[in-house]
Amino acid sequence: MSSPSVTFVMAAHNAENTICEAVQSALAQDYDGPIRVLVIDDASTDRTAEMIPVHDDVDVVRNTKRLGRSGSRNRALHLVRTDLVAIHDADDVSLPNRLSTSVPLVSDSMTVVGTQLIWKDTSGELYEGAHWPTSAVEGAKVLAEGRTPIAHPSMLIPTNLIRRAEGYDERFPVAEDLDLMLRVKKLDPTIRFLNSSKATVIYSRPSCDSLTYCLRSHYWRSQVLEHHRLTASEWNLWGPRALDSYLRQRARVLRRWATKAMGKFRRNDE
């Protein structure tokens, strides 16, 4: 039996510094099935289009006006002709084993999978990020709590399933992945969400640790939950939750910095 075909869907806006490596990483998979990369250049004003590698398996579509990430991905979904869709951000890097790790987990057309992430901060330092659920039971529990059960930058989903859900809701500029997964689950309660225990994507976080990002993220998450009538009482206090998240992230950064500094000091002392 032949391996399922996969299209990497990549929305890109002013990504001239990262798009080449992102596309090349998608093409360099140790996967034996057909692979395509579909880049939606979201009306970039820099050299993004010039930096996209020319390759037989790479298709590029340019938006004449900005549609945003969700709008660009939705445009791509109309063009996909493969069995599976793999989400790929224009500033992320997929390791060679991404598809060979995740495709076998898509046991049927009712399964959405992802993998763990390696996070990259603004200095380029790599570190272990949050843990994503590796069982369908845990994934269902996380989604019921109003949290994303799949590491979205690593998401692999059957094409017919994301189309049945009508793609992304463009009203949500942030937390659109949570909204999508809640709508996918509503299609059929037996749909499963799970992640591999392996990390296969280097996830760039250029602004994700800023207070502005935390406030914006938590606000839109609260809007998604309210839209799906899942707003718990604590999510009404999205502002304090965003501040708490920001302070926790800063604490993690300081701990990493202190650990690195102590290691360097010990080596110099020896």
**What integer pLDDT is reported at residue 55 of this predicted model?**
97
Can you give the C-alpha Rg of the chain in angstroms? 19
Q: How far is CA 167 from CA 57, 62, 194, 257, in A?
A: 23, 19, 19, 40
Look at the pTM and tell me if it is higher than 0.85: yes
| pLDDT tens digits, one per residue of 124-179 | 788 888 899 999 999 999 999 889 999 999 999 999 999 999 999 999 999 999 99
Could you tell me where the beta strands, DSSP code E, fall in the chain?
A: 6-12, 35-41, 58-62, 84-87, 93-94, 111-120, 126-128, 156-158, 192-204
| pLDDT tens digits, one per residue of 220-261 | 888 999 899 876 544 455 555 555 665 666 566 566 656 666
Count of residues in the chain: 270
Domain regions of the chain by residue span: 6-206, 207-270
For residue 245, the number of C-alpha atoms closer than 13 Å in the C-beta half-sphere is: 20
**What integer pLDDT is reported at residue 235 of this predicted model?**
47
Q: How far is CA 206 from CA 57, 70, 174, 250, 266, in A?
A: 29, 19, 15, 14, 30
Nearest in space to 93 (alpha carbons), one of 6, 23, 15? 23
- Percentage above 70 pLDDT, the chain: 83
- Homologous superfamily of 6-206: Spore Coat Polysaccharide Biosynthesis Protein SpsA; Chain A (3.90.550.10)
Assign 207 a pLDDT band (cuts: 50, 70, 90). Answer: low
Which token pair is 53?
A: 């590698």
